[in-house]
Amino acid sequence: MAHKYLTVSMSPHIRQGRTVKGMISTTIVALTPAMLWGFWQFGYKAVILVALGVVGAVGTEAALCVIRKQPLTLGDNHAVLVGLTLALLVPSGVPWWMVLVGAIMAILVGKAPFGPLGGAPINPALVGLLILAISWPGEITSYDFPTTADAAFAVADIGPAEAPVDAVTIDPSDAGEYCPFMLFSGLQVGPIGAISPLLLLLGGLYLIVQRVARWQGPLGFLLGLGLAAAIMHGIDPGGFPPGSFQLFTGMAFFGAFFLCTEWTSTPVTPWGLFLFGFGAGVLALIFRVTGGLPFGRVAFAIGFFSLLTPLLDRIPLTPFGKGVRHA
């Protein structure tokens, strides 16, 4: 009688057909509505900057593969996502070369030194953005008025374009001039892909439904930012804007749904991910109200907490063995 042997391989034993390329492609699809809205509001300059960001990141990764004599790693689309994310987080008025430099630095400094995909401690796009913010603090705040500025809150002939969060940092009384509905729908000055919380929310929910992103990070970030803003506004209504303003301006929704959900630089455990988002949201608000950073407060806050990810992953949820019932 012939014996049949089973070959037991390493886990996981149940496959769902999900690939890294598929998850990255889903993220790009989720970013597309906010990107197209940015194109509509800021015109051809936004299109050129996004194209330069993608070309810079892809080209740098391809060049590194050739120099290292390694197979090309462009098939997973990660370099595309890095360049796209970086470009969507800068204003459309920045010089074109800055986006190119930022994309190159994102790969050279933020990704390449940490081995294969998945080893970077901070989102490479954030690394590139923070390099730009530190190196050229004046140029990085070169905003343009959106095409619907007249219908929103500002007219181009009253002065240079200014992001709402920057204006309120200088003069908190300006917060009352902004309509929360217009801010939420995307009628505001800001980075190319971060001006519409509504479209970013829809894209983020799509990622969560597709199980590409986890909900604990976005919930923690929005709760931390909103709760801290509500407390400060309650203490001093004239000195701090309300929570809705803080949530609907700047990079808040982009950071919540597309930076706090990055796979390798955020905690693995659900509770750790929630604390990651909550702490980053509170820190982002502190950066805003203190006014010490001219740009990228959300990016700096999330980047800082990315460095704390190993510590947050060590926070135990349940003592080992507790609650286990033995037969």
Q: Give the DSSP per-residue string, 161-215.
A: ---HHHHHHH-GGGGGGS-HHHHHHT-S---TTSS-HHHHHHHHHHHHHTTSS-S
* Domain annotation covers residue 10: no
From 105, 140, 175, give the residue that closes a domain. Answer: 140
Q: What is the pLDDT of residues 258-298, one digit of tens each?
A: 999 998 899 999 999 999 999 999 999 999 888 777 888 99
Q: How far apart are CA 272 and CA 269, in angstroms?
A: 5
In a domain, 26, yes or no: yes
Domain-located, residue 318: no
**pLDDT tier at 151, thresholds 50, 70, 90:** very low
49 located within any domain: yes
113, 217: one domain: no
Closest by CA to 247, choosing from 227, 261, 233, 231, is 227
Are residues 187 and 108 part of one domain? no
CA dist., res. 202 & res. 97, Å (int): 31
Once rounded to an integer, what is the mean pLDDT over residues 97-114?
A: 94
Residues 27 and 165 in one domain: no
Per-residue pLDDT for 11 more than 50?
no
CA distances from 89 to 2, 48, 86, 122, 295 (A): 64, 14, 5, 16, 10
**What single-letter DSSP state applies at residue 94?**
S
Residue 260, pLDDT score: 94
How far apart (Å, rounded) are the C-alpha atoms in residues 153 and 176? Answer: 11
- Which SS3 state, helix, strand or coil, does residue 158 take? helix
**pLDDT score, position 116:** 75
The tally of domains found in the chain comes to 2
Residues 160 and 131 occupy one common structural domain: no
Split at pLDDT 50, 70, 90, the class of 159 is low
- Asked whether residue 89 falls in the same domain as residue 119, the answer is yes
Number of Cα atoms under 13 Å in the Cβ half of residue 298? 28
Residue 199 lies in a domain: yes
Same structural domain, 93 and 237: no
Q: What is the mean pLDDT of the chain?
A: 87
What is the pLDDT, as a whole number, of residue 323? 52
- Tell me what pLDDT residue 195 has: 94
Same domain, 120 and 199: no
Among 40, 20, 34, CA closest to 87? 34
Range of the domain at 44: 20-140
Is 85 in the same domain as 26?
A: yes
The answer to whether residues 132 and 264 belong to one domain is no
Of the residues 120, 140, 160, which one is the last residue of a structural domain?
A: 140
176 pLDDT exceeds 50?
yes
One domain, residues 60 and 160: no
pLDDT computed for residue 97 by the predictor: 96
Q: Is the pLDDT score of 68 beyond 80?
A: yes
Question: Binning pLDDT at 50, 70 and 90, where does residue 15 land?
Answer: low
Rounded-to-integer distance, Cα 146 and Cα 170, Å: 22
Contact 163, 143 (CB under 8 A): yes
Only one residue has tokens 């990255």, namely 24
Whether residue 14 lies inside any domain: the answer is no
Task: Verify that 112 and 163 share a domain, yes or no.
Answer: no
Q: Is residue 319 part of a domain?
A: no
Whether residue 58 is found in the same domain as residue 198: no
Residue 146 lies in a domain: no
- Closest by alpha carbon to 89, among 195, 200, 191? 191
295: its two tokens: 């740009």
Residue that is last in its domain, among 109, 140, 171: 140
Burial class (CB in 10 A: 0-12, 13-18, 19+), 12: exposed
